[in-house]
Structure 1
Amino acid sequence: MTDPHAPGGLSAPNPHPSKIFGTGTASESDHVADVWKNPEGDTEYQKAKNDLAERVYKSTAREPLGKTFVRGHEMPDTITKDPKYRHGIVYKRGIPASAVLNPDTTEEEFAVQREAEKIYIKSHGAYRAGQQKKRDYVWRDGIDPGEKVWGVKGKDIALGGKSEAVYDVLHGVGDVPQTTLTSKKYDDFQSMGDLLGRARNLGHGKQLAGDHIFGKAAVRRGPNEWDARDCVEGKYSYAEQLPDSDLGTTATPGFRNATTELRRFGCPSVRSDIPKYARRSVADNQNYGDDVNAQFLLNPSQFANLGVEDEQFIVPRSKEYIKSMFNDLGYAVEDDVFDELFGSVCDADGMCGVDLYRKAYNNWRIDGRK
């Protein structure tokens, strides 16, 4: 085996299979098995051995598990063993609680407190609740801000009625209008904006009239030459402005708009010109003349909401069909009575509609033939 990184390309020997790569740990360090093992030990001997090893730590001695923090103070026996011993100063009876919470303060102490407040207000700007802020301004004309009343004095009494003076004070009636100073650059910038109905100010400094027209006047080279206005608006004669003579007609042979009185253009609403399919699809929206009229749409049949049309009541049915239907509905009669009613309304083929048999049955019930 040749090692390309070896000097001169010499072959390097293979390592022994039992060789361990990496840095070995010190013999006195903790091993993985010792770390994962239960520190308390499994037996009483191991627990006692662990407690003996833990004594060297300061936290174990001062903060034992389940006990108070040991600070190392040595209290005299008269304090720790006497059950009547009390810490603190003996309370003197006769002093009210208000004197304890708010003791009397002398004038000297008040003066010190006021000086301390002045310093704290000046350094932090912390005024007390409701205290007026004073900035130590020097007012002219001998104005005392503690006695001066600001604002306009009202002429009328506001209580109990309308006072115009209060309205004037709130809206500043009679005040001197305030002068606002702005930069001329701002005014010049505003004047150069777009104004409706005016030419835009380009900042050339010329004051032009309102009817001023910019540009150079066009010079016509001949009487029939068109200028820009003629190109935009057009300059056609009356004959040129008339519609074309073939307007509304086609130039394709065989497609002339020639018609007769009986000819009808377009597709008819009722497609009677095409045959109807034996089984009509739901996607077929053609009207073959069998659709209901407007009267049916405005006044539908009684059973239209159930999907039963009127024509179903007049369709010829067999004798067995009529008998089973009325028996299921609860209107069963004797066989001889049914034969008599059905024979009175059936046709030559022995068929009868539901509506015809219903009318015959109702008449039989009215006549009392049961």
Structure 2
Amino acid sequence: ATLAPTPPAAPLSARGPRPGSGPKAALKSAGLLTVPTSFRRTDCAPCVPSAGKALVPNTLNPILPSPRTPELSEVRKRHRHRRAGVGEPTIHWGLDGLKFPELERGFGRGSKSEDGTVEENFKSCQKTGVAEYKDMVGEAIYQSTSREPLGKGWCRGHKLPPRTKAIDFAGFGKATSKEISTKEIVAPRGYQPESDAARALYRQTHGSTDPGEMTMRSYDWPRSVAGPHFQFGLEATKDSNNQGAGVRRALTYGAPGPEPSTVPTTALGPLRVERFRHVTSDCLGTSRLVLPPGLRELPEDHVFGMPSGRDPTTCAELVRGNYSHEERLPDDDLGRCTAPGRRNYLSEVPLGVPCVRTDRVAPPREQRSIASGTNWGDDPNASGLLCPGRYDGLGVEDADFQLPRTYDQLRDIFAGAGVADLPSDVFAAACPPGTGGDATPRATIKAVSGVLACAAAPGRLLADTMLP
């Protein structure tokens, strides 16, 4: 089916339509008709035919979908996330389409050896037929072959009674009764408690004692051990026949006398030698005199030892330091880089971000976020937190009452507080002389409130009526 052509518009005059006139002449003159309104671009050369072979005109081509280009096997293999079809096993994309080798061949490249394959090496020592029978007869004399034949258990030579070979033989041991429960086995009933003799036997053989029981070894000590004055060891012999010689030998053991353990006899000698021995030797209970006789009497201010030399540097200079002006100056690389080829200039703005952001203008308090942790340097101190002002809950600080303001500003503030009109004489009384650097008188809220309170109560003092 084809669409009927649109009939031409009726002429506006008897002479017919003018060239360049019509319902779309204005759009064409404005250039809007040249703008593409769909995905098809404007044909800039309508007289030139398009390249390629023209298709058969078919009105159903825009409606029917074109057939999809078939995918190649290599392209389908790279689709890793492709789902398996109905009844199709899930295979890894790397193994999809891979050909497995035969069972006998296996993976890898076969090795070529002059001695043959592994199978041939194993079969080279294998014997069959008469050769195998000869080896079996020759190994029959071995004890391991007779006791442990191939495919059978080890024959130890035991001869069991014939009843053990019967089919209905229940086996060795006593059959366990299935009527007895585990509770009766752990804590049986109807049995007498263990006797003291049996408990003592277990204590001796296995060391089985009750909790907290002391180990008794049951030693048979002689009667003399039970005495209160008994002592182990060799008994000391009494010196009844030596007339005390044993005690003397014990006291003078090792003394260099003429007889063993005796004191040497007194010998007369020069007095000078005895005094020298007395001076140079260590005497019991006295200190040793190490000074020669000529240095025994020394003055009180005498100091032993060699005097120390004089050093131009005193201890005070070591403690206080003796540094020049250049040495006291800070290092050259403090706050800047001194490496050649890098930043060797000094900047007025210090590097880094300070903890208190004094490098930026602090925003108003009503514009700050509650979650912001930036310190602008205007946070309240501990005194303000412990002793807050009277109007801090309303967002008014004490410094706002001390801020100088003009007459118009104060009149608006007091008008909001309920004072209809602020007299000018009250403002003049609250305005101290010399305020306002720009020749504009200014007063504080505290001063104006004090003047108003004094005017309302003449007997009250000005300091008692002022706001904090």
Q: Please confirm whether the aligned pair reaches a TM-score higher than 0.5, indicating the same fold.
A: no
When normalised by structure 1's length, the TM-score is 0.26
Return the TM-score normalized by structure 2: 0.21
